[in-house]
Amino acid sequence: MTSSEVPDTQKAWVSVRRGPPRRSLELKEDWPVLKTPQANEVLVKIKAAGLNPVGHKFMKLLPNWIAKRPHVAEFDFSGTVADAHESKDFSVGDEVYGWIWPLGLQQSTKQGAISEYIRIPESHLVKRPSNITPIEAAGISLAGLTALQALDAVNLEEGQTIFINGGSTAVGSFAIQLAKLRGAKVVVTASGKNEEYVRKLGADEFIDYTKVGPLHTFLGHTQPPATKYNVVFETVGLFDPSLYSHSSKYLAPNGLYISTGPQPWNQGFHLNLIPQGLRLIGALGLPSFLTGIKSKFLMVGVHNSVEDNKRLQTYLSEGKVKPLVDSVFKFDDALSAYDRIMTSRATGKVIVQVDPSL
């Protein structure tokens, strides 16, 4: 494809106002294409886009002046290089996947994944392995790198045991596979209907959270683990701090508690959030001699890394990690894709098919 073949405008799902996706998003037929890559950038013709919980949560949470709307929605994509500019690593026609992250990059360029083209720093891309389809590749970057960098942060090692709360989430699904690659024993929670799913990913032990009552009580009293966990990885976004504040009962000495971040908007507002919020502030903000909480709390701060992108790409190409797809929706039906991800019942990624020829 030559630059003259790239259109000036494109179809794109654009976040234009604060609210849930069906209020926030509008399908634009004339959104501008940033056609000319700058230094260290390439232009990608998008084939598919992956939805992430952070996408619809930002739509609902962030006011327009912070979100800097309007901008195209979502972060993860796969596609084909349409203009490689002066790149030494990519050529026109290369099959790639990547992400537009952090949020400031999306805001400053007004670009996103649910569009036909994206101009992106080449450091945010890798070539798609031939054993991964464009649909599968579209959901890798944000969730996969979050899991990878979380396990790096806690230095999970062979022979250790990790407890993953939310094994069927996108981050949890990658975390199970990556933890097994490191030789760790993996214990996960999910609902009973997802037991087979997480076991196929490599989970050694399974806990149906719907049947055991409060997890912190179950782990600390009802069934103290024979071997305490070296790592507790909380991928659900619990706002209630109980799993952390009681973790000294089920974390090994020098064990670590790591979280994707407390997310009160997961639950919708109700009065219980007020005391939970106060407890969370106390648990995370007060010194341990006041709270009695000795476990170290870490929060995942996912960032773009060329090295991490390539490491994850290698695992994928070798078949050691497999991206999971829950469902695929046509481009014009992207709002239904959001309906699906907002059920919180998706196992694997929800994908929007941008290229109808896939």
DSSP string, 121-180: EGGGEEEPPTTS-HHHHTT-HHHHHHHHHHHHHTT--TT-EEEEE-TTSHHHHHHHHHHH
Same domain for 155 and 281, yes or no, is yes
Domain of residue 215, residue span: 143-299
**Res. 272: pLDDT tops 90:** no
Q: Give domain status of residue 358, yes or no.
A: no
Same domain assignment for residues 152 and 293:
yes
Residue 170 is assigned to a structural domain of this protein: yes
25-32 sheet: strands from edge to edge: 25-32, 9-15, 71-72
Closest CA to 355 of 101, 77, 111: 77
Identify whether residues 171 and 275 lie together within a single domain: yes
Identify the domain boundary among 283, 299, 315.
299
CATH number for the domain spanning 224: value is 3.40.50.720
Q: Kindly state the average pLDDT of the residues 293-310.
A: 87
- Is 308 contained in some domain? no
Whether residue 16 is found in the same domain as residue 131: yes
Query: Are 116 and 150 part of one and the same domain?
Result: no
Is residue 200's pLDDT more than 90?
yes
C-alpha to C-alpha distance for 206 and 186, rounded to whole angstroms: 9
pLDDT, one tens digit per residue, over 61-93 is 899 999 999 999 999 999 999 999 999 999 999
The verdict on residue 313 lying in a domain is: no
Shared domain for 218 and 258, answered yes or no, is yes
Section 32-47 average pLDDT? 97
316 within domain boundaries:
no
170-198 confidence digits (pLDDT tens): 999 999 999 999 999 999 999 999 999 99
Local structure of residue 1 (DSSP, 8 states): -
Give the pLDDT confidence of 93-148 residue by residue, as tens digits. Answer: 999 999 999 999 999 999 999 999 999 999 999 999 999 999 999 999 999 999 99
User: Alpha helices, DSSP H only, in the chain?
Assistant: 21-24, 53-61, 64-67, 103-109, 134-137, 141-153, 170-181, 195-201, 215-217, 242-245, 273-285, 288-291, 306-317, 334-341
Is residue 189 within 8 Å of residue 211, measured between CB atoms? no
What CATH number is attached to the domain comprising 96? 3.90.180.10
My answer on whether 162 and 272 are in the same domain is: yes
Residue 312 lies in a domain: no
For 201-229, how does the pLDDT look when each residue is reduced to its tens digit (9 = 90+)?
999 999 999 999 999 899 987 555 667 89
In the chain, the number of structural domains is 2
Q: Could you tell me the pTM of the whole model?
A: 0.92
End-to-end CA distance of the chain: 18
Q: Give yes or no for a contact between 270 and 310, defined as CB atoms under 8 angstroms apart.
A: no
118 and 147 co-located in one domain: no
With cut-offs at 50, 70 and 90, classify the pLDDT of residue 20. Answer: very high
Does some domain include residue 67? yes
Note whether 20 and 64 are same-domain residues.
yes
Q: Which residues pair with 258 in a beta bridge?
A: 233, 298
